[in-house]
Amino acid sequence: MRIATFLLLSAWLCLMLGCGVDNLSCEERKKEIEQLEGRLFTQDGSSVQDNIRADLMRAYASFANACHDADETPEMLFRRADLLRSVGRFQEAMTQLRDVHDHYGEYEKRSVCAFLVGFIAEVELNDRAQAKKTYEQVIEVHPNSEAATWAKQSLELLSATEGGQQPEFQAD
């Protein structure tokens, strides 16, 4: 009985004090992200500070969870995907990009998200079959986008290199 009373009192106290819950507004979260972005690179700009990158990935995710309907949310998640890719978490980056593509239909970089899923599959994971499938979907779903142009070029390069051939590049 004492344990149950203690747990109930602890839960009530936690609710009253907001234990484990950060009550930052969306604006405060954006300011935190801006500060982290400003500190991401070393002073000479030559490399990324790993601890800041990790904090920034968490801040982007936190913003998206707390401010899901904010106009900036898909961009925050897009940036998070880029950071995930930069630390070798390729599957997570692809999942993040798919989520942005599928859940933010008005996001201006939606077609780029779709293309990047294929690009990561091709370049980072060497999964040519997945890359080809994804590029074909980009062309089908976003036929008039710049990403569709990139996808067509990538498909051409994949086809040209299937038999071990080196693609021929023409200077413009």
- For the stretch 47-101, pLDDT in tens is 999 999 999 999 999 999 999 999 999 999 999 999 999 999 999 999 999 999 9
The CATH number corresponding to 26-161 among 3.30.200.20, 3.20.20.190, 1.20.58.100, 1.25.40.10 equals: 1.25.40.10
User: How many CA atoms lie less than 13 Å away from 82 in the CB half-sphere?
Assistant: 11
Listed by start position, the domains of the chain span 26-161
The pTM (predicted TM-score) of the whole model is: 0.80
The amino acid present at 172, given as its one-letter code, is D
- For the stretch 3-55, pLDDT in tens is 655 555 555 445 444 444 568 899 999 999 999 999 999 889 889 999 999 99
